[in-house]
Amino acid sequence: MRTDFATAIVTVLYVSLIGSPILAVEYPVVRTQDGAVRGIAKGGVREFLGIPYAAAPTANRRWRPPARHAAWTTPLDATHFGASCPQPSMLERNYSISEGCLFLNVFTPDPPGKFLPVMVWIHGGAFVIGSGSSYDASTLASKHRMVVVTINYRLGALGFLAWRELDRESPEGVSGNYGLLDQQAAIKWVKHNIDTFGGDPKNITLAGESAGGMSVCMQLVSPQASGLFQRAIIESGPCLYEPTLAEAERHGDQLAAKLTCDKNKDKVACMRAKPADQIVAAMPASITGPLLWAPVVDGRVIPQQPAEAFRAGVFNRVPVMNGSNRDEGTLFVAMGGPLSKADYSKAIAGFASRSPTARRNPQDAAKVVGAYPLKDYASPAQGLAAVLGDAIFSCPVERAGQLLSQHVSVFEYEFNDRDAPLIFMVHPPFPLGAYHASEIQYVFQTGFPAERRSTPGFSPAQQKLSDDIAGYWAGFIASGEPGAASPKWEPQKRGDTKILSLAPDGIRYESDFDTTHHCALWNSLLP
């Protein structure tokens, strides 16, 4: 592979009519194994956007592993994001949608370096929404001298349909997990090409938040991802969520029936002939309820549940940064309807009996109701938010860290800025605190989602916290040890959980995490 950076650079100079300083914008060209790509360089960062890392998963490629993209002979315009994968319209967005969506975006410093550390970022969104274009990695790349790659992967039923009819046509006899295979294809592309962008293919950190964090968990467990990355960052990714293959295949049958393909002689051909938007419209999908379309244990891509793999030490052993936010549940409850005092206990008991991270024993519901008395919360909704956040995120995330730390270095955190700038809701029905996904703007140090082109609007103390967080992350990405912010971040030790609280009034180790989040209760209910 060629290792020179620019085979051509075109410089365009813009001069305003009032005599403002000249602004130089360059269009560097980098050659990949598939062909040259022309990006854009300005303000100390180079961006190469919308690069295809695999062929469009359309027509007969739908519900198959990703295939290599055909090479091109003239430089590819990489100055704009590619299309995002088909998804329900749940959140504000300003990007195009297409089933041909397997693109990635590369951010590097300008001028570029050599053998820089690389972070591959997997977006969240409950495996049904999201896009790599939502993340502006320009500050991370330029300020911390690294290469950042954001990716798309197939979502919803198009990315995670486990169905017996697809099992029959698969050479491996399995289906589903296509989105995970996309992620692996993207990381392989990075390993094969990132040196021409100034990155080190032997120093890759796989990172993600929420469903992206869960994806990182799954890639830790997947034998097919062995050797693809050297470190892992899991932000608010409950590794111990355990959907079953039987449940996933039942959803597949229901989707086929809804699309009237269940009685067709060739059910698979019928499903492949359906337009992508019809499939999206037909699939039940929610970012606040159970994950209906998600990775499953298929015996090949994911041989066993993450909890089992972590306990046995049978996973891709790399250093891990792992953590959650103080108020993970508030955003999800705020997106739902109001909750009355009269319905409070019933709502908690109902959740406890069907919690995706618990054993689903209805007899345990009374224990949960007793642990979260309404008098302890300003409103019923905030009480329910505490239950949801503790059960699905805080305690499972901590438990996963404990299991992993028996075999690898684990750096555990809790994000604790309870006045974090609001991203998704301008006027929430109650204070959201350190809500789900609120730490992303502190890590990237830019507005999120990036389509809104906003700035985080930090106070001086929040800006200092963001600088420290980004420094910790950058150090870990570079070397496997968090950066030099104070205090020094120590890894967990066997039997000694060390959780670093990231708050604007000071970074310090926590002593009351388990008590605050009722983890003794939830750990007793975990599989």
Catalytic residue among 84, 142, 210, 355: 210
User: Which uninterrupted H or E stretch holds 346?
Assistant: helix 344-354
438 is catalytic: no
328 is catalytic: yes
DSSP-assigned letters across all residues of 127-169:
TTS--GGG---HHHHHHHT-EEEEE----HHHHH---HHHHHH
- Alpha helices for 174-259 (secondary structure H): 178-193, 211-221, 245-258
Residues 370 and 389: their CA atoms lie apart, in Å, by 17
Q: Could you give the count of Cα atoms lying within 13 Å of 379 in the half-sphere of its Cβ?
A: 13
Question: Which amino acid is located at 336 in the chain?
Answer: G
* Cα distance from N-terminal residue to C-terminal residue, the chain: 47
Provide the 3-class DSSP secondary structure of residue 350.
Answer: helix
Catalytic residue among 123, 144, 436, 518: 436
Among candidates 26, 123, 140, 39, which has minimal Cα distance to 84? 123
Provide the 3-class DSSP secondary structure of residue 513.
Answer: helix
The DSSP symbol for 391 reads I
Q: Could you give the count of Cα atoms lying within 13 Å of 413 in the half-sphere of its Cβ?
A: 26
| 239, two tokens | 């590794």
Catalytic residue among 235, 242, 249, 328: 328
User: Which uninterrupted H or E stretch holds 116?
Assistant: strand 116-122
Contact assessment for residue 63 and residue 175, using Cβ atoms and an 8 Å cutoff: yes
Residues 56 and 266: their CA atoms lie apart, in Å, by 23
Contact assessment for residue 48 and residue 78, using Cβ atoms and an 8 Å cutoff: yes
Contacts of 453 (CB under 8 A, 6+ apart): 447
Biggest CA-to-CA distance, the chain: 75
Contact assessment for residue 102 and residue 54, using Cβ atoms and an 8 Å cutoff: yes
Q: Which long-range contacts (CB under 8 A, 24 or more apart) does 276-284 make?
A: 276/86, 276/99, 276/158, 277/86, 279/86, 279/156, 279/157, 279/158, 279/255, 280/86, 280/87, 280/88, 280/156, 280/157, 280/158, 282/157, 282/255, 282/258, 283/156, 283/157, 283/255, 284/251
210 is catalytic: yes
Residues with active-site annotation: 210, 328, 436
